[in-house]
Amino acid sequence: QRHLISAADLTRDDAVLILDTAEEMSRVADRPIKKLPTLRGRTIVNLFFEDSTRTRISFEAAEKRLSADVINFSAKGSSVSKGESLKDTAQTLEAMGVDAVVIRHGASGAPYRLANSGWIDAAVINAGDGTHQHPTQALLDAFTMRRRLIGRDTGLGQDLSGKRITLVGDVLHSRVARSNVDLLHTLGAEVTLVAPPTLVPVGVGTWPCEVSYDLDAVLPKSDAVMMLRVQRERMNAAFFPTEREYSRRYGLDGDRMAKMPEHAIVMHPGPMVRGMEITAEVADSDRCTVVEQVANGVSIRMAVLYLLLGGNEPAVTHSRTEEK
Ligand code: CP
């Protein structure tokens, strides 16, 4: 059984195949009928133990565009609130005969446990676990960078060799940062983390990236700048500078954005905290790809589901009527 648990498990060729397949999948949005029959008869459960807007909705959209049967499970309102364990929840799903489980969980390692416990026979896709990993987010971010920095057609088959990517903010609590560092390194990019000293993880020295505390010095050398959400819900107040101090040193406003090269883009995985890590002027500017990232997330998740479950059928077939 194949799973997607961590961006670190992907080779360069795996990642490029997913990005190229996502380019094919993105064409489905342009079809009169935005659906492929690829996963007809397959059942996918979206198992969300933590809140989500973008990931949950885009997995559901991707599954429906591939014609899968979709079951949405949210821990709120389920028997988890009565104390049911992950094992019993998993075995309940197994009894219903699911083919894949997309799981978001507050505990780092929960998707790995589900995939390797023997409780369930389905493919497991990690939709974000604790502070550990969010591999489809890293893939959609890489897809967005490749399209914007190399080109939609010229990027096919290519990685991100030589691109300079800066991740800014709450690295300590960010599964997005961990996944991006792993995947961007695999794809040949040079990654720099910029964060307050209290929000840099212990052990970052072993990560394949540079660390800086000076955002203004790094901006002119960046092809993409990804702002990270400050995850107040995961932190002790002692870790955090005041909001004003954080914005002054690590926030992205119009003046700072002007220091970036003209071609460089601003990214954010969402949800954004406008005013603190990013001003409205930057978030709403043409250089900010946040909405594009969400749209690309559907194509990436279609590609991942297709490659894990779709068998040998061609990803996208074109009928004669559509080609007219
Ligand atoms: N980027 C992301 O994971 O957003 P959600 O928490 O809304 O899914």
Query: Quick one: pLDDT at residue 22?
Result: 97
CA of 59 to the centre of ligand 1 (A): 11
Question: Could you give the angle at the alpha carbon of 70 between the alpha carbons of 66 and 71, nearest 5°?
Answer: 165
Domains along the sequence of the chain with CATH: 7-133+294-323 (3.40.50.1370), 135-290 (3.40.50.1370)
ipTM for the whole complex: 0.98
- How far is Cα 41 from Cα 320, in angstroms, rounded to an integer? 25
Query: Quick one: pLDDT at residue 320?
Result: 38
From residue 56, how far is each of 83, 217, 224 by CA, in Å? 23, 37, 26
- How far is Cα 250 from Cα 228, in angstroms, rounded to an integer? 10
- How far is Cα 287 from Cα 265, in angstroms, rounded to an integer? 5
- Single pTM value for the model: 0.93
- Name the residue of 54, 143, 173 to mutate for ligand 1: max ligand atoms within 8 A of Cβ: 54
> 135: Cβ below 6 Å to ligand 1?
no
Instruction: Render pLDDT for 128-173 as a digit per residue (tens, 0 to 9).
Output: 999 999 999 999 999 999 999 999 999 999 999 999 999 999 999 9
Taking every pair of Cα atoms in the chain, the longest distance, rounded to a whole number of angstroms, is 63
- Name the residue of 50, 51, 55 to mutate for ligand 1: max ligand atoms within 8 A of Cβ: 55
Q: How confident is the model at residue 233 (pLDDT cuts 50, 70, 90)?
A: confident
Instruction: Render pLDDT for 96-120 as a digit per residue (tens, 0 to 9).
Output: 999 999 999 999 999 999 999 999 9
- How far is Cα 85 from Cα 179, in angstroms, rounded to an integer? 27
